[in-house]
């Protein structure tokens, strides 16, 4: 699969069309991952460590990619 990363400010999300509008233009997506915040609070959310995915490290991003594929 062709997986990419773009950092931009999202101005609209159109899930029915699999499309977002950003400060860098419009984009289509198959899967949309919205990453918010600055701290991964896996110690405060039961099950997050075992079942969630962070994007803090390349290894974690690769683990998420493997799950999606």
In this structure, the chain runs to a length of: 69
Residue 25, pLDDT score: 94
Residue 19, pLDDT score: 95
- Reported as a single tens digit per residue, the pLDDT across 1-54 is 677 777 888 899 999 999 999 999 999 988 887 776 667 777 887 887 787 777
Q: 69 and 7 in contact (C-beta within 8 Å)? A: no
**Backbone angles phi and psi of 51, in degrees to 5:** -115, -10
Residue 1, pLDDT score: 62
Longest dimension (CA), the chain: 37
Q: 8 and 23 in contact (C-beta within 8 Å)? A: yes
Residue 36, pLDDT score: 67
Model's pTM, two decimal places? 0.48
What residues contact 7, with CB distance under 8 A and at least 6 apart? none
């Amino acid at each position: 699969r062709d997986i990419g990363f773009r950092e931009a400010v999202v101005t609209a999300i159109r899930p029915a069309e699999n499309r977002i509008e950003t400060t860098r233009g419009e984009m289509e997506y198959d899967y949309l991952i919205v990453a918010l915040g600055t701290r991964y609070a896996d110690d405060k959310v039961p099950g997050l460590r075992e079942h969630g995915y962070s994007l803090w490290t390349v290894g974690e991003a690769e683990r998420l990619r493997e799950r999606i594929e």
